[in-house]
Structure 1
Amino acid sequence: MLSLLAAGSAAGLSSGFNAAVAGCFFAVESVLWPSSADATLPLTNTTSMVILSAVIASVVSEIGLGSEPAFKVPEYDFRSPGELPLYLLLGVLCGLVSSALSWCTSYMLNNVDNLHKATGIPRASFPVLGGLSVGLIALLYPEILYWGFENVDILLESRPFVKGLSIELLLQLVAIKIVATSLCRASGLVGGYYAPSLFIGAATGMAYGKFIGLAVAEFNPMINLSVLEVASPQAYGLVGMAATLAGVCQVPLTAVLLLFELTQDYRIVLPLLGAVGLSSWISSVQTKRGDGSGESSTGNNFAEGVPFSSNLCQVESSLCVDDDDVETTYSTRTLVSEAMNARYLKVSMCALLTDVIDLMLAEKESCAVIIDTDDTLIGFLTLKDIQEYGKIAKARSKKPKELVVSELCLLNGGVCSVPWTATPDMELSYAQMTMNKYGVNQVPVVRNIHERAYPVGILDLDSISLTYSALATRRSLS
């Protein structure tokens, strides 16, 4: 399955952009590398399948559609080595733009989830609302819609008689496209980041190139900048496309090779490598910081739980399918009540941490629900939380055995807070997807009575897997 997935990914990119080499590296970066190491996987055969699929797809595409790429590529010009710092600065800018898209998507996902829980609006209504919102935005900015890369041609001014866009409008399009893309993803519309990242990168690079050109022309009479020959904005637009693609989808090698194949100009490689490397590094650093702060990410983890990682589900939401036949069969018919564990630990805020650990050891549980005096849910504590805080307390020369649960929750930055809760009548597939989005392995299951949450069980990923397997086994026996 992994080999076929990699081969199909290579074929898709190869035929879509007429770039066979970039298609091969896309399969490697987005499918083979992120997959867990498997000694039984025939990597040699997989690589051969990827190459053959990319070549055959490219040949068939050229026969049926011609040899023209997806969008018209303007001529690339590289004026002087003095421009290289400008391209590096563009890479930094594209990395920040990529991080902005990641943050905006996470923010939208959280808001939609909170709106669903607060208002009870059916999930099926959100794609309608998302499409309506994007349509209203497109009345003012029609360029944000997908026209099959015609809008990229407009940004790059690569077709004759195409009027160029101003710097102000280009910057507006960057911001609006980020918002529209995040809104589509959060509302459940089918779409990904690959095409939007090319659009956002082209707009960012063109705006940056036009600004640099104006700045050099402005300061040249005052300061002799004759040694600095600035290329046309299209050159920065092309590099901006690759840098943003690398930052958003975390496919730096694919981005470099894709633009190299499209331009067929070796001079673009050096600026590309610098800009793409910086953009990919900056966006990955921001993603790791976001994960460390406890914020939910985008898929990766675009996951969604894996934040903008090299995950096909993050690159294209239409590929967010479960390759487990068992889960596919039962995911839409199984409720949380069938998978949750009704036996769980309940502790109070005034309980000693040592007592909590003793309870976990006695009951063979790795988590506990923190309840108030009236049995309502106020927090969630795991053995990992206690272990991590024990290390911090030991470094500070404190005695963690004397601490109570409330002190740990307060002193460790709200670690006991509950990011999300499930309900017994919730579909198990939705609960699992939300747990992956938040990056948690266990969540409390509650019944909401008069706007108060009363815990009734614990749901974890192991129990979900066990439930699916048991249902499949029962079905096979019957």
Structure 2
Amino acid sequence: MNKTAKIKKNHQFIKLRKLVIVSVLIGFLSAFLGISLKKITEYYEEIFFHQATVNPIFYVVFPVFGLSIIYFLRQYLFKKKENKGIKEVFESTQSKSKNLPNYKIPSHFINGLLTVIFGGSTGIEVSTVVATATIGSVAQQKENVFRQYKTELICAGVAAGVTALFSSPIAGILFAIEVISRKVTRAFIISNLIAVSIAFGLITILNEGPLFAVTITTWHLKAIPYFILLGILAGINSVYLTRCVLFFKGQFSKIETHYYKIILGSIVLSVSLFVFPQLYGEGYHAINGIFSNSAIPLTLTLTFTFIGILLLKPIVTSITLASGGDGGVFAPSLFIGAFLGLLLASVLNTFFNAQVIPLNFMVIGMAAVLSASIHAPFTAIFLVCGLTNDYTLFLPILVVCLISKYTAKMIYPHTVYTFLPSISK
């Protein structure tokens, strides 16, 4: 081997070693951030939601208080800099000069937390994704050798963050591929595998269990036609969610005085929470509630409750985001999917004696609506299987996720992430 080839080989080895080291750091920091945000949010959301159920006046107080704090933090702590959500990650990966600034880490962490615990009808997932993407972005700016790995390191942070939230390293990597990068390089494989391994190792050490404790026993071939119907309905509901987000952001962007947005958003949110407390925050408490009572008989009151929730959830989510809240469509999609699945299963069993398993429809519905909302079916499959720690329904989830995605794309080709105007988040 000549001297030039030896130098080149040593240089490649040094680059690889540095990439491994930085991937370990990104994985640990992103997982730590994701786990911390999840735990703090769960703790305080439970406390505040309990207070609101005991004293309903807090359904009015919490939203206006939370949105006001976020507004003042953005004005004075973060120097009037707006959070644009995952769109910022796209802009950074598609530009050589544009990077995610450091303040995005505390900004999304704090604002995402405040939005959810004070009743904002969204989740912390997008806040986590942008904050962890920023960790990757900051890391790649530290050394010239990492400049060519910008997308890979940003995706490593995102993948580790998603892994920490949903206990699924496969979902973390697939989300980075399907939504952020859309291409795979050798550096991507190395950095992302290391980052999600560190993240999964950390949640294993901390003994993080699945978010939803459910027991799925089996599924039947006779339910396939009903699963197909669920996929179509999930696609339609996801388009409704997407169009609501884009519409209300467009309308609220016309309001020049920001505090008017807060007042209007708080009024809508407060009334909605008062009527349907299930819409409070991420809504995971409501999902766990219907998981526990999935066999309850369908009554007229219950039917109207489910329909009201399915119609209102996209609206209150959209208004939460449009009036200054921080979040995205991950948690709302899971919420809508669970309630849609239970409603469909209950209707089939009550009026058509279909004898389907409601629990299966709820789990599949969660994956289907998420798949259609973000156009990432494989992410949705492994994410929901990770949430329940059960792969019994893998095959029907795969089929239904593909149906829901392509149903949604046929009706409306965009997601809230891919819609071009700057009003999208």
Q: Which TM bucket (shorter chain)? A: 0.5 to 0.7
Aligned sequence identity (%): 24
Secondary structure in 1 matching 2:412: helix
Is the CA contact 2:211–2:388 (under 8 Å) kept in the aligned structure 1? no
State the Cα distance separating 1:240 from its structure 2 match.
0.2
Distance 2:315 2:204 in 1: 35
Cα displacement string for residues 453-477 of structure 1 (whole angstroms, at most 9, x for unaligned residues):
xxxxxxxxxxxxxxxxxxxxxxxxx
State the Cα distance separating 1:101 from its structure 2 match.
1.0
Q: Mind listing any 5+ residue stretches in structure 2 that lack a counterpart?
A: 1-149
Aligned to 1:396: none
Distance 2:334 2:261 in 1: 26
State the Cα distance separating 1:44 from its structure 2 match.
0.8
Q: Does 1:185 align with 2:321?
A: yes
Give the partner amino acid of 2:412.
T
The equivalent position to 1:29 in structure 2, one of 178, 183, 187, is: 178
The equivalent position to 1:104 in structure 2, one of 237, 240, 244, is: 244
- Judged with a 3 Å threshold, the aligned counterparts in structure 2 of structure 1 residues 238 and 47 are, in CA distance, closer, same or farther, namely same
Secondary structure in 2 matching 1:67: coil
Alignment length, in residue pairs?
Answer: 274
- Judged with a 3 Å threshold, the aligned counterparts in structure 2 of structure 1 residues 79 and 30 are, in CA distance, closer, same or farther, namely closer
Structure number with the higher strand fraction is 1
Secondary structure in 1 matching 2:195: helix
- Judged with a 3 Å threshold, the aligned counterparts in structure 2 of structure 1 residues 17 and 148 are, in CA distance, closer, same or farther, namely farther
- Judged with a 3 Å threshold, the aligned counterparts in structure 2 of structure 1 residues 26 and 206 are, in CA distance, closer, same or farther, namely same
Matches within 5 A, 1:96-135: 96-114=236-254, 116=255, 121-135=256-270
Is the CA contact 2:348–2:356 (under 8 Å) kept in the aligned structure 1? no
Distance 2:219 2:210 in 1: 25
Is the CA contact 2:210–2:389 (under 8 Å) kept in the aligned structure 1? no
State the Cα distance separating 1:193 from its structure 2 match.
0.3
State the Cα distance separating 1:79 from its structure 2 match.
4.0
Secondary structure in 1 matching 2:210: coil
Aligned to 2:208: 67
Secondary structure in 2 matching 1:166: helix
Give the partner amino acid of 2:165.
G
- How does the TM-score come out when normalised to structure 1? 0.53
- Judged with a 3 Å threshold, the aligned counterparts in structure 2 of structure 1 residues 148 and 56 are, in CA distance, closer, same or farther, namely farther
Give the partner amino acid of 1:102.
T
- RMSD over equivalenced CA pairs, Å: 2.8
Aligned to 1:318: none
Secondary structure in 2 matching 1:70: coil
State the Cα distance separating 1:94 from its structure 2 match.
0.4
Larger RCO, structures 1/2 (Cα 8 Å, 6+ apart): 2
Aligned to 2:381: 256
- Judged with a 3 Å threshold, the aligned counterparts in structure 2 of structure 1 residues 160 and 85 are, in CA distance, closer, same or farther, namely closer
Secondary structure in 1 matching 2:253: helix
Matches within 5 A, 1:74-85: 74-85=214-225
Aligned to 1:269: 394
Give the partner amino acid of 1:62.
T
Q: Does 1:196 align with 2:332?
A: yes
- Judged with a 3 Å threshold, the aligned counterparts in structure 2 of structure 1 residues 233 and 145 are, in CA distance, closer, same or farther, namely same
Cα displacement string for residues 60-79 of structure 1 (whole angstroms, at most 9, x for unaligned residues):
12323x2311232x222434
Give the partner amino acid of 1:141.
F
Is the CA contact 1:252–1:276 (under 8 Å) kept in the aligned structure 2? yes
Q: Does 1:171 align with 2:320?
A: no
Structure number with the higher helix fraction is 2
- Judged with a 3 Å threshold, the aligned counterparts in structure 2 of structure 1 residues 75 and 304 are, in CA distance, closer, same or farther, namely farther
Distance 2:347 2:243 in 1: 26
Is the CA contact 1:167–1:210 (under 8 Å) kept in the aligned structure 2? no
Matches within 5 A, 1:393-412: none
Distance 1:2 1:25 in 2: 14
Give the partner amino acid of 1:110.
G
The equivalent position to 1:154 in structure 2, one of 289, 296, 299, is: 289
Distance 1:85 1:124 in 2: 49
- Return the index of the structure with the highest Cα Rg: 1
Secondary structure in 2 matching 1:68: coil
Give the partner amino acid of 1:201.
G
Q: Mind listing any 5+ residue stretches in structure 1 that lack a counterpart?
A: 218-227, 289-296, 306-432, 439-478
State the Cα distance separating 1:280 from its structure 2 match.
0.5
- Judged with a 3 Å threshold, the aligned counterparts in structure 2 of structure 1 residues 258 and 247 are, in CA distance, closer, same or farther, namely same
Give the partner amino acid of 1:3.
E
Cα displacement string for residues 201-224 of structure 1 (whole angstroms, at most 9, x for unaligned residues):
11101111111111233xxxxxxx
Is the CA contact 1:242–1:256 (under 8 Å) kept in the aligned structure 2? yes
- Judged with a 3 Å threshold, the aligned counterparts in structure 2 of structure 1 residues 125 and 166 are, in CA distance, closer, same or farther, namely same
Matches within 5 A, 1:369-408: none
Aligned to 2:368: 243
